[in-house]
Protein backbone atom coordinates (compact mmCIF):
# COMPACT_ATOMS: atom_id res chain seq x y z
CA UNK A 1 0.00 0.00 0.00
CA UNK A 2 1.30 3.44 -0.91
CA UNK A 3 0.75 6.41 1.36
CA UNK A 4 0.72 9.68 -0.52
CA UNK A 5 -0.92 11.97 1.97
CA UNK A 6 1.22 13.39 4.70
CA UNK A 7 -1.50 12.78 7.30
CA UNK A 8 -1.26 9.03 6.68
CA UNK A 9 2.49 9.03 6.82
CA UNK A 10 2.90 9.31 10.57
CA UNK A 11 1.02 6.10 11.48
CA UNK A 12 2.94 4.39 8.66
CA UNK A 13 6.28 5.48 10.14
CA UNK A 14 5.25 4.31 13.62
CA UNK A 15 4.12 1.04 12.07
CA UNK A 16 7.58 0.51 10.54
CA UNK A 17 9.24 1.15 13.91
CA UNK A 18 6.92 -1.36 15.60
CA UNK A 19 7.65 -3.99 12.95
CA UNK A 20 11.41 -3.46 12.71
CA UNK A 21 12.22 -2.65 16.36
CA UNK A 22 9.52 -4.60 18.17
CA UNK A 23 9.20 -1.94 20.88
CA UNK A 24 10.49 1.36 22.24
CA UNK A 25 14.10 2.19 21.34
CA UNK A 26 16.59 5.00 21.95
CA UNK A 27 18.78 6.58 19.25
CA UNK A 28 22.06 4.82 20.10
CA UNK A 29 23.10 3.07 23.29
CA UNK A 30 26.19 1.06 24.20
CA UNK A 31 26.17 -2.71 24.27
CA UNK A 32 28.52 -4.73 26.51
CA UNK A 33 28.59 -8.46 25.90
CA UNK A 34 32.29 -9.36 25.71
CA UNK A 35 35.39 -8.78 27.83
CA UNK A 36 34.43 -5.29 29.08
CA UNK A 37 33.94 -6.28 32.72
CA UNK A 38 37.07 -8.48 32.83
CA UNK A 39 39.36 -5.79 31.42
CA UNK A 40 37.97 -2.92 33.52
CA UNK A 41 38.12 -5.05 36.67
CA UNK A 42 41.76 -5.85 35.90
CA UNK A 43 42.56 -2.11 35.85
CA UNK A 44 41.01 -1.68 39.29
CA UNK A 45 42.53 -4.85 40.71
CA UNK A 46 46.04 -3.87 39.57
CA UNK A 47 45.70 -0.14 40.30
CA UNK A 48 46.45 0.83 36.66
CA UNK A 49 43.47 3.11 36.12
CA UNK A 50 45.06 6.32 34.84
CA UNK A 51 47.01 7.46 31.78
CA UNK A 52 49.87 4.97 32.21
CA UNK A 53 48.92 1.33 31.66
CA UNK A 54 49.09 -1.39 29.07
CA UNK A 55 45.54 -1.06 27.74
CA UNK A 56 46.18 2.41 26.26
CA UNK A 57 48.90 1.10 23.96
CA UNK A 58 46.93 -2.06 23.22
CA UNK A 59 43.95 0.11 22.25
CA UNK A 60 46.18 2.16 19.93
CA UNK A 61 47.59 -1.00 18.32
CA UNK A 62 44.08 -2.33 17.78
CA UNK A 63 43.02 0.98 16.17
CA UNK A 64 45.99 0.80 13.77
CA UNK A 65 45.02 -2.75 12.89
CA UNK A 66 41.33 -1.92 12.35
CA UNK A 67 41.88 1.27 10.33
CA UNK A 68 45.11 0.40 8.55
CA UNK A 69 46.54 3.77 9.67
CA UNK A 70 50.17 3.71 10.80
CA UNK A 71 49.82 5.74 14.01
CA UNK A 72 46.91 6.01 16.46
CA UNK A 73 47.20 8.21 19.55
CA UNK A 74 44.44 7.74 22.13
CA UNK A 75 42.91 10.89 23.64
CA UNK A 76 40.31 11.79 26.29
CA UNK A 77 37.66 12.48 23.64
CA UNK A 78 37.17 13.18 19.95
CA UNK A 79 37.10 16.94 20.40
CA UNK A 80 40.59 16.84 21.97
CA UNK A 81 41.78 14.69 19.04
CA UNK A 82 40.43 17.26 16.57
CA UNK A 83 42.00 20.13 18.54
CA UNK A 84 45.47 18.58 18.39
CA UNK A 85 44.97 17.57 14.73
CA UNK A 86 44.37 21.28 13.93
CA UNK A 87 47.59 22.32 15.64
CA UNK A 88 49.61 19.56 13.96
CA UNK A 89 48.19 20.48 10.55
CA UNK A 90 49.67 23.95 11.11
CA UNK A 91 46.53 25.87 12.05
CA UNK A 92 47.53 29.06 13.88
CA UNK A 93 45.54 31.71 15.74
CA UNK A 94 43.81 34.03 13.25
CA UNK A 95 43.66 31.41 10.47
CA UNK A 96 40.45 30.16 8.88
CA UNK A 97 39.59 26.47 8.62
CA UNK A 98 36.99 25.13 6.19
CA UNK A 99 34.53 22.84 7.98
CA UNK A 100 31.13 21.44 6.98
CA UNK A 101 28.17 23.44 8.26
CA UNK A 102 26.31 20.15 8.64
CA UNK A 103 28.20 18.59 11.54
CA UNK A 104 28.21 18.11 15.29
CA UNK A 105 29.34 21.32 16.99
CA UNK A 106 32.69 19.80 18.11
CA UNK A 107 34.12 20.09 14.56
CA UNK A 108 33.70 23.88 14.59
CA UNK A 109 34.58 24.22 18.29
CA UNK A 110 37.93 22.47 17.74
CA UNK A 111 38.80 25.16 15.16
CA UNK A 112 38.10 27.87 17.76
CA UNK A 113 40.09 25.93 20.39
CA UNK A 114 43.08 26.25 18.03
CA UNK A 115 42.48 30.03 17.89
CA UNK A 116 41.13 29.93 14.33
CA UNK A 117 37.84 30.81 12.64
CA UNK A 118 35.50 28.23 11.07
CA UNK A 119 34.58 28.86 7.43
CA UNK A 120 31.52 26.82 6.47
CA UNK A 121 31.12 24.58 3.43
CA UNK A 122 28.02 23.15 1.77
CA UNK A 123 27.14 19.45 1.56
CA UNK A 124 26.18 17.17 -1.33
CA UNK A 125 23.02 15.14 -1.02
CA UNK A 126 24.59 11.79 -2.06
CA UNK A 127 27.09 11.76 0.83
CA UNK A 128 25.84 14.43 3.29
CA UNK A 129 29.50 15.55 3.36
CA UNK A 130 31.46 18.44 1.81
CA UNK A 131 30.71 19.05 -1.88
CA UNK A 132 34.13 19.04 -3.56
CA UNK A 133 32.96 20.82 -6.72
CA UNK A 134 31.47 23.67 -4.70
CA UNK A 135 34.57 23.77 -2.50
CA UNK A 136 36.80 24.28 -5.55
CA UNK A 137 34.55 26.97 -7.02
CA UNK A 138 34.37 28.73 -3.66
CA UNK A 139 38.13 28.70 -3.11
CA UNK A 140 38.65 30.01 -6.66
CA UNK A 141 36.20 32.83 -5.98
CA UNK A 142 37.17 33.92 -2.47
CA UNK A 143 40.86 33.09 -2.07
CA UNK A 144 44.16 34.29 -3.44
CA UNK A 145 47.54 32.66 -3.00
CA UNK A 146 50.32 34.52 -1.16
CA UNK A 147 53.64 32.66 -1.09
CA UNK A 148 51.80 29.49 -2.08
CA UNK A 149 49.31 29.76 0.80
CA UNK A 150 45.65 30.54 0.06
CA UNK A 151 44.24 33.59 1.84
CA UNK A 152 40.63 34.71 2.11
CA UNK A 153 40.53 37.91 -0.01
CA UNK A 154 37.74 39.45 2.10
CA UNK A 155 39.23 38.79 5.55
CA UNK A 156 42.94 38.58 4.74
CA UNK A 157 43.17 35.37 6.80
CA UNK A 158 45.13 32.29 5.79
CA UNK A 159 42.94 29.31 4.87
CA UNK A 160 44.99 26.81 6.84
CA UNK A 161 43.07 23.53 6.62
CA UNK A 162 39.99 21.74 5.34
CA UNK A 163 38.13 19.38 7.68
CA UNK A 164 35.78 16.90 6.04
CA UNK A 165 33.37 14.83 8.12
CA UNK A 166 31.88 11.40 7.37
CA UNK A 167 28.29 12.21 8.25
CA UNK A 168 26.45 9.56 10.28
CA UNK A 169 29.23 7.16 9.22
CA UNK A 170 28.83 7.65 5.44
CA UNK A 171 32.17 8.46 3.79
CA UNK A 172 32.46 11.75 1.95
CA UNK A 173 33.90 11.59 -1.61
CA UNK A 174 37.46 11.58 -0.26
CA UNK A 175 39.30 11.44 -3.62
CA UNK A 176 37.42 14.49 -4.85
CA UNK A 177 37.88 16.52 -1.64
CA UNK A 178 41.56 15.52 -1.32
CA UNK A 179 42.15 16.58 -4.96
CA UNK A 180 40.79 20.08 -4.30
CA UNK A 181 42.96 20.32 -1.17
CA UNK A 182 46.04 19.35 -3.22
CA UNK A 183 45.18 21.90 -5.93
CA UNK A 184 45.09 24.70 -3.35
CA UNK A 185 47.86 23.25 -1.17
CA UNK A 186 45.63 23.07 1.92
CA UNK A 187 46.06 20.18 4.39
CA UNK A 188 43.05 17.87 4.79
CA UNK A 189 41.88 16.63 8.20
CA UNK A 190 39.24 13.89 8.40
CA UNK A 191 36.69 14.16 11.20
CA UNK A 192 36.19 10.38 11.24
CA UNK A 193 34.56 10.43 14.67
CA UNK A 194 31.41 8.80 13.29
CA UNK A 195 32.97 6.46 10.74
CA UNK A 196 34.85 3.71 12.59
CA UNK A 197 34.23 0.63 10.44
CA UNK A 198 33.38 2.66 7.30
CA UNK A 199 35.36 2.23 4.09
CA UNK A 200 35.92 4.51 1.11
CA UNK A 201 36.75 2.53 -2.06
CA UNK A 202 37.92 -0.36 0.08
CA UNK A 203 40.16 1.68 2.38
CA UNK A 204 39.15 2.57 5.94
CA UNK A 205 38.22 6.22 6.50
CA UNK A 206 40.90 8.22 8.31
CA UNK A 207 43.65 7.24 5.86
CA UNK A 208 43.14 9.94 3.26
CA UNK A 209 43.93 13.17 5.08
CA UNK A 210 47.12 14.36 6.77
CA UNK A 211 45.45 13.54 10.10
CA UNK A 212 42.10 12.20 11.29
CA UNK A 213 40.12 12.05 14.53
CA UNK A 214 38.04 9.23 16.01
CA UNK A 215 35.57 9.38 18.93
CA UNK A 216 34.57 6.71 21.45
CA UNK A 217 31.80 8.65 23.16
CA UNK A 218 28.95 6.63 24.65
CA UNK A 219 26.73 7.07 21.58
CA UNK A 220 29.32 6.07 18.98
CA UNK A 221 29.69 2.63 17.36
CA UNK A 222 32.48 1.70 19.81
CA UNK A 223 32.69 3.36 23.22
CA UNK A 224 35.40 3.70 25.86
CA UNK A 225 33.03 5.71 28.08
CA UNK A 226 34.65 8.85 26.73
CA UNK A 227 37.59 8.81 24.39
CA UNK A 228 39.05 9.61 21.03
CA UNK A 229 42.12 9.10 18.87
CA UNK A 230 44.31 10.99 16.45
CA UNK A 231 45.21 9.00 13.33
CA UNK A 232 48.07 9.72 10.94
CA UNK A 233 50.27 7.90 8.45
CA UNK A 234 53.04 10.48 9.00
CA UNK A 235 55.76 9.30 11.42
CA UNK A 236 56.77 12.78 12.57
CA UNK A 237 53.16 13.90 13.17
CA UNK A 238 52.49 10.65 15.03
CA UNK A 239 55.35 11.41 17.44
CA UNK A 240 54.23 15.01 17.83
CA UNK A 241 50.66 13.92 18.53
CA UNK A 242 51.79 11.66 21.37
CA UNK A 243 54.01 14.46 22.74
CA UNK A 244 51.38 17.21 22.66
CA UNK A 245 48.65 15.00 24.18
CA UNK A 246 50.91 14.00 27.09
CA UNK A 247 51.71 17.54 28.38
CA UNK A 248 54.80 17.76 26.11
CA UNK A 249 56.79 15.88 28.72
CA UNK A 250 60.43 15.14 27.96
CA UNK A 251 61.63 11.75 29.15
CA UNK A 252 64.11 11.99 32.07
CA UNK A 253 65.12 9.58 34.83
CA UNK A 254 64.24 11.84 37.75
CA UNK A 255 63.26 15.31 36.54
CA UNK A 256 59.91 16.61 35.35
CA UNK A 257 60.55 18.64 32.17
CA UNK A 258 58.18 19.92 29.48
CA UNK A 259 59.46 21.53 26.29
CA UNK A 260 56.28 23.33 25.14
CA UNK A 261 52.71 24.02 26.23
CA UNK A 262 51.07 20.61 25.91
CA UNK A 263 47.70 19.13 26.79
CA UNK A 264 46.54 16.63 29.39
CA UNK A 265 44.64 14.71 26.71
CA UNK A 266 45.87 11.10 27.15
CA UNK A 267 43.13 8.47 27.45
CA UNK A 268 43.07 6.80 30.91
CA UNK A 269 43.82 3.07 31.03
CA UNK A 270 40.39 2.23 32.49
CA UNK A 271 38.72 3.81 29.46
CA UNK A 272 41.14 2.08 27.09
CA UNK A 273 40.32 -1.26 28.74
CA UNK A 274 36.65 -0.74 27.95
CA UNK A 275 37.59 0.37 24.42
CA UNK A 276 39.71 -2.77 23.79
CA UNK A 277 36.82 -5.05 24.71
CA UNK A 278 34.49 -3.03 22.50
CA UNK A 279 36.89 -3.15 19.52
CA UNK A 280 37.01 -6.95 19.81
CA UNK A 281 33.27 -6.88 18.98
CA UNK A 282 33.49 -4.25 16.21
CA UNK A 283 32.96 -6.60 13.26
CA UNK A 284 29.85 -8.06 14.87
CA UNK A 285 28.51 -4.59 15.74
CA UNK A 286 28.96 -3.38 12.14
CA UNK A 287 27.27 -6.49 10.75
CA UNK A 288 24.30 -5.84 13.02
CA UNK A 289 24.16 -2.15 12.14
CA UNK A 290 24.22 -2.96 8.43
CA UNK A 291 21.49 -5.57 8.91
CA UNK A 292 19.32 -3.05 10.80
CA UNK A 293 19.83 -0.54 7.96
CA UNK A 294 18.71 -3.15 5.43
CA UNK A 295 15.61 -3.91 7.54
CA UNK A 296 14.75 -0.20 7.60
CA UNK A 297 15.42 0.21 3.87
CA UNK A 298 13.04 -2.61 3.02
CA UNK A 299 10.38 -1.48 5.47
CA UNK A 300 10.40 2.17 4.37
CA UNK A 301 10.55 1.38 0.64
CA UNK A 302 6.74 1.29 0.12
CA UNK A 303 6.18 4.61 1.91
CA UNK A 304 6.09 7.33 -0.71
CA UNK A 305 7.66 10.62 0.25
CA UNK A 306 10.16 9.14 2.70
CA UNK A 307 13.61 7.96 1.66
CA UNK A 308 15.83 5.86 3.89
CA UNK A 309 19.35 7.20 3.35
CA UNK A 310 21.74 4.56 2.00
CA UNK A 311 25.53 4.52 1.63
CA UNK A 312 27.17 6.29 -1.33
CA UNK A 313 28.13 3.99 -4.25
CA UNK A 314 31.85 4.08 -3.45
CA UNK A 315 31.42 3.32 0.25
CA UNK A 316 30.77 0.56 2.71
CA UNK A 317 29.29 2.39 5.66
CA UNK A 318 28.92 1.56 9.34
CA UNK A 319 25.43 3.19 9.31
CA UNK A 320 26.25 4.85 12.64
CA UNK A 321 23.03 6.88 12.80
CA UNK A 322 20.26 5.93 10.41
CA UNK A 323 18.51 8.74 8.56
CA UNK A 324 15.17 9.40 6.92
CA UNK A 325 14.89 12.09 4.26
CA UNK A 326 11.39 13.50 3.73
CA UNK A 327 10.31 14.76 0.32
CA UNK A 328 10.45 18.53 0.01
CA UNK A 329 6.65 18.57 0.01
CA UNK A 330 6.59 17.04 3.47
CA UNK A 331 8.98 19.38 5.27
CA UNK A 332 6.01 20.79 7.17
CA UNK A 333 5.35 17.46 8.92
CA UNK A 334 8.93 16.91 10.14
CA UNK A 335 8.25 18.23 13.62
CA UNK A 336 4.97 16.34 13.87
CA UNK A 337 6.71 13.08 12.94
CA UNK A 338 9.38 13.88 15.54
CA UNK A 339 6.92 14.60 18.34
CA UNK A 340 4.58 11.67 17.61
CA UNK A 341 7.33 9.06 17.23
CA UNK A 342 9.00 10.22 20.47
CA UNK A 343 5.62 10.09 22.22
CA UNK A 344 5.32 6.45 21.12
CA UNK A 345 8.72 5.61 22.63
CA UNK A 346 10.71 5.61 19.39
CA UNK A 347 13.53 8.08 19.89
CA UNK A 348 13.97 10.24 16.82
CA UNK A 349 15.83 13.53 16.43
CA UNK A 350 16.22 16.32 13.91
CA UNK A 351 19.78 16.42 12.58
CA UNK A 352 22.14 18.95 14.19
CA UNK A 353 21.14 22.54 13.64
CA UNK A 354 23.74 23.62 11.03
CA UNK A 355 26.72 25.55 12.36
CA UNK A 356 25.95 28.74 10.41
CA UNK A 357 22.62 28.98 12.26
CA UNK A 358 24.13 28.70 15.76
CA UNK A 359 24.43 32.01 17.65
CA UNK A 360 28.20 31.90 18.11
CA UNK A 361 28.87 31.07 14.44
CA UNK A 362 26.37 33.19 12.49
CA UNK A 363 28.98 35.78 11.49
CA UNK A 364 31.63 33.30 10.31
CA UNK A 365 32.67 33.23 6.66
CA UNK A 366 30.83 30.69 4.50
CA UNK A 367 29.79 29.69 1.03
CA UNK A 368 26.13 29.48 0.00
CA UNK A 369 24.66 26.55 1.93
CA UNK A 370 21.42 25.54 0.16
CA UNK A 371 21.98 21.78 0.48
CA UNK A 372 22.79 21.98 4.19
CA UNK A 373 19.62 24.04 4.77
CA UNK A 374 17.63 21.50 2.74
CA UNK A 375 19.04 18.44 4.56
CA UNK A 376 18.40 20.08 7.93
CA UNK A 377 14.78 20.86 7.04
CA UNK A 378 13.80 17.36 5.98
CA UNK A 379 15.96 14.87 7.88
CA UNK A 380 15.20 12.67 10.86
CA UNK A 381 17.64 10.40 12.73
CA UNK A 382 16.08 7.14 13.88
CA UNK A 383 17.05 4.39 16.39
CA UNK A 384 20.37 2.79 15.35
CA UNK A 385 21.87 0.68 18.17
CA UNK A 386 23.38 -2.53 16.72
CA UNK A 387 21.51 -4.72 19.21
CA UNK A 388 18.22 -3.59 17.59
CA UNK A 389 18.98 -5.88 14.65
CA UNK A 390 18.18 -8.78 17.00
CA UNK A 391 14.60 -7.65 17.55
Using the minimum distance from each CB to ligand PLP, give the nearer residue, 14 or 357: 357
Q: How far is the CB of 318 from ligand PLP (least distance, A)?
A: 12
Q: How far is the CB of 109 from ligand PLP (least distance, A)?
A: 9
CA atoms of 110 and 176, how far apart (whole Å): 24
CA atoms of 325 and 340, how far apart (whole Å): 17
Using the minimum distance from each CB to ligand PLP, give the nearer residue, 42 or 263: 263
B/e letters for 235-251, b = 16+ CB within 10 Å, e = fewer, are eebbebbbbbbbbeeee
Using the minimum distance from each CB to ligand PLP, give the nearer residue, 77 or 318: 77
Q: How far is the CB of 146 from ligand PLP (least distance, A)?
A: 31
Closest among 95, 76, 71 to 160, alpha carbons compared = 95
Using the minimum distance from each CB to ligand PLP, give the nearer residue, 51 or 107: 107
Q: How far is the CB of 328 from ligand PLP (least distance, A)?
A: 26
The burial class, CB within 10 Å (0-12 / 13-18 / 19+), for 148 is exposed
Using the minimum distance from each CB to ligand PLP, give the nearer residue, 224 or 246: 224
Q: How far is the CB of 5 from ligand PLP (least distance, A)?
A: 35
The burial class, CB within 10 Å (0-12 / 13-18 / 19+), for 1 is exposed
Would you tell me which residues interact with ligand PLP (CB under 6 A)? 77-79, 103-104, 106-107, 165, 191, 193-194, 215, 217, 228
Q: Which residue is nearest to ligand PLP (CB)?
A: 78
Using the minimum distance from each CB to ligand PLP, give the nearer residue, 78 or 312: 78
User: For residue 246, what is the DSSP state?
Assistant: B
Using the minimum distance from each CB to ligand PLP, give the nearer residue, 219 or 233: 219
Which backbone phi and psi does 3 adopt, to 5 degrees?
Answer: -105, 120
Which backbone phi and psi does 312 adopt, to 5 degrees?
Answer: -60, 155
Contact, 366 vs 130, CB < 8 A? no
What 3-state DSSP class applies to 296?
A: helix
Q: How far is the CB of 297 from ligand PLP (least distance, A)?
A: 23
Q: How far is the CB of 143 from ligand PLP (least distance, A)?
A: 25
Using the minimum distance from each CB to ligand PLP, give the nearer residue, 20 or 111: 111
CA atoms of 86 and 125, how far apart (whole Å): 27
Q: How far is the CB of 193 from ligand PLP (least distance, A)?
A: 4
Which backbone phi and psi does 349 adopt, to 5 degrees?
Answer: -145, 145
Provide the 10 A C-beta neighbour count for residue 37. 12
Q: How far is the CB of 33 from ligand PLP (least distance, A)?
A: 23
Q: How far is the CB of 384 from ligand PLP (least distance, A)?
A: 13
Using the minimum distance from each CB to ligand PLP, give the nearer residue, 53 or 100: 100
Q: Which residues contact 15 (CB under 8 A, 6 or more apart)?
A: none
Q: Which residues contact 53 (CB under 8 A, 6 or more apart)?
A: 43, 268, 269, 270, 272
Using the minimum distance from each CB to ligand PLP, give the nearer residue, 9 or 83: 83
For 180-217, what is the HEC assignment? HHHHHCCCEEEECCCCCCCEECCEECCCCCCEEEEECC
Amino acid sequence: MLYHMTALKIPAVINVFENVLGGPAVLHEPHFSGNEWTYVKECIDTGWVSTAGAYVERFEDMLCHVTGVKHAIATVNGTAALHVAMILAGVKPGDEVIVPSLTFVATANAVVMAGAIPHFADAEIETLGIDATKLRAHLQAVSKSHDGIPHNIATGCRIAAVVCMHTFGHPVDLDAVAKVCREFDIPLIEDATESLGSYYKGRHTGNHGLLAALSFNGNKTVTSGGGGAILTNDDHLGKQAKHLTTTARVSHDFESIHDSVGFNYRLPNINAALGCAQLEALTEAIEKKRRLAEMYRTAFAPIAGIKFFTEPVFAVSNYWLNLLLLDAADVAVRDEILSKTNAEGFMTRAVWRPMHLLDMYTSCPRMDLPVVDDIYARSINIPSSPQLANA
